[in-house]
Every structure is written in structure tokens, then in C-alpha cells.
Amino acid sequence: MTEAHDTTIPQHIAIIMDGNGRWANERQLPRIAGHRAGVENVRLIVERCAQLGIKYLTLFAFSSENWRRPPTEVRLLLELFSVALEQEVERLDDNGVCLQVIGDRSGFPGKLQRRIQQAEKLTGNNDSLTLIIAANYGGRWDVTQATRKVAMAVAAGELSPDDITEETIANHLCLTKLPEPDLFIRSGGEQRISNYLLWQLAYTELYFTDCLWPDFDKVEFDRALTSYSTRQRRFGMTGDQIDHADMPTTSTA
């Protein structure tokens, strides 16, 4: 059962934190300085979500395709992720934040994999805000790994192909236990999904801003929330039906 909540405030926000490189370029700084400033900004947005009672925040930190970047940038990004995990995890824990990482972590160095595991273990019982970091994540990877698990169940004779429903697939995807994102935000001016949560974003409200991620402050964040609060979510129904019926809560969880 979904708890009753104020539907003008999203329960789950998914963000593509884009524009770090351009923010650094504008200041004649190396790109990694932009990524560092981006991590600082994550702290601000996490705090704002906690203040507002937003329950789930999913952040795109490193995509399956980001391996295509110059090796030095990839290496520095992974180091930054590792250091940020180490430095932030206790503060997150003190604030009741539950940290989870989604994506193919087998692609990461062993030390980073262990740090992720430790952070998830330490914060696993917290329930004020769930912060999900998508790292080495791609929507196509997610659908593919879910399909593989379903295929294995079929091969083992536990499931008949005729019984595969949308729910079967959804149950094997990352974020399966969470409500689907209500609001998607992309900073940095590009208007694309870049292989983020392809399945989970089916009915998410999309918000794009030119603001570069390190500049995406509380004012910008609240602007996105205001935009969200004016949207009418119809889920295939008509506007009249939404206006005149007792609507179910917005998410399917």
C-alpha cells in the first residue's frame, strides 16, 4: 500500500546531474574541478530533499557510456566517487539517509565495490530519505539484466513464457521496490534521457533546465518542484476523469 501523501510534492525524484564539465570550462578549470563542485552540490540537494520530506532521490553519477570518456577523466571520476563515499557516509547515516547504489558494480575496482557494500550496510536500516546513486548504470543494461533473470527462471522450469507480464519484468529491474520517479530533472541544457531509467520513467514528469549542475541550487530545485506542482498527471485518462474522480496516488508501488 502506498502511504497517503501530498501529491504536489514528488515522492521520488530522479536527476541527471549534467553540466559539470562546462561549468569548469567556463572558469578555465580542469573538468574534474567541475565534478568536485558537482559532488558539493549533491550535499545541498540531499539536504533540501530531507527538509521537504521527499522519500527517494535517484542521482545519475556515471553512465554505462561514460567509460567512453578519456581514461584520465574516468579514473578521476571513479576516485572522486570512492572518496565522496568515504567522506559522506557517516554524515548520511547520522541524518537517517539510506544509501543504495544501482548499476553494474562488477565493472568497478574491488576497493570501490567494497566501499559501496560497506556504505549500503551501514545505512541499510535508515528510512528518512533513500538516496540511490546510479553508477555504471544504463537503462538498457537494467532491462537486459532483468530479461536474463526472467529467462533463467523459464529455463529452470519455474516460469512459463505465457505468464510473463509487465510486472514480471518490473520485479527484476533495479528500483523494483520503490515507487516510480514522479519527477525527472536534467540540468545542463540537454533535452535527452541518455539511457537513464528507461522503463521506470514511462510516466514521470520531465523537467529540463539550462542551469549547470554545480549551480543548481535550492532556488533552481524549488523552481522544478513548482513546475511539477502545476502538472496534471493523467496516466492515459482524460483531464475530466482526473478532475472529477478520486484519484489513486500517483505511483504504482
Contact 34, 20 (CB under 8 A): yes
**What phi and psi, each to the nearest 5 degrees, are found at residue 27?**
-105, 10
CB of 70 to ligand IPE, least distance (A): 11
Q: Which of 20, 41, 66, 136 is catalytic?
A: 66
Task: Please report which helix (H) or strand (E) contains residue 94, including its range.
Answer: helix 71-94
CB of 191 to ligand IPE, least distance (A): 10
- The cell numbers describing 163, all together, are 505468464
The interface region with Mg ion, picked from 18-26, 67-75, 164-172, 244-252 by CB under 5 A, is 18-26
**What phi and psi, each to the nearest 5 degrees, are found at residue 102?**
-115, 150
Residue in 233, 180, 166 with CA at minimum distance from that of residue 2: 180
CB of 84 to ligand IPE, least distance (A): 12
Active site annotation includes 18:
yes
Candidates 10, 11, 16, 18; binder of Mg ion (CB under 5 A) is 18
* CB neighbours of residue 201 within 10 Å: 16
Instruction: State which amino acid sits at residue 35.
Output: H
CB of 48 to ligand IPE, least distance (A): 19
Active site annotation includes 66:
yes
C-alpha count within 13 angstroms, C-beta hemisphere, residue 35: 17
CB of 110 to Mg ion, least distance (A): 28
User: Which lies closer to ligand IPE via its Cβ, residue 23 or residue 228?
Assistant: 23
Q: Is 75 in the site for ligand IPE (CB under 6 A)?
A: no
The sign of the dihedral angle between the CA atoms of 136, 139, 140, 144 is positive
CA distance 12 to 86: 25
User: Which lies closer to ligand IPE via its Cβ, residue 16 or residue 92?
Assistant: 16
Number of residues written out for the chain: 253
**Ranges within 44-63 binding ligand IPE (CB under 6 A):** 60-63
User: Which lies closer to Mg ion via its Cβ, residue 18 or residue 182?
Assistant: 18
Residue in 109, 112, 110, 133 with CA at minimum distance from that of residue 123: 133
Indicate the DSSP class of residue 210: -
Q: Is 88 in the site for Mg ion (CB under 5 A)?
A: no
Q: Is 22 in the site for ligand IPE (CB under 6 A)?
A: yes
Candidates 21, 139, 179, 214; binder of ligand IPE (CB under 6 A) is 21
Binding site residues, ligand IPE, CB under 6 A: 16-22, 60-63, 66, 77, 188, 190, 192, 194
Catalytic site residues? 18, 66
Binding site residues, Mg ion, CB under 5 A: 18
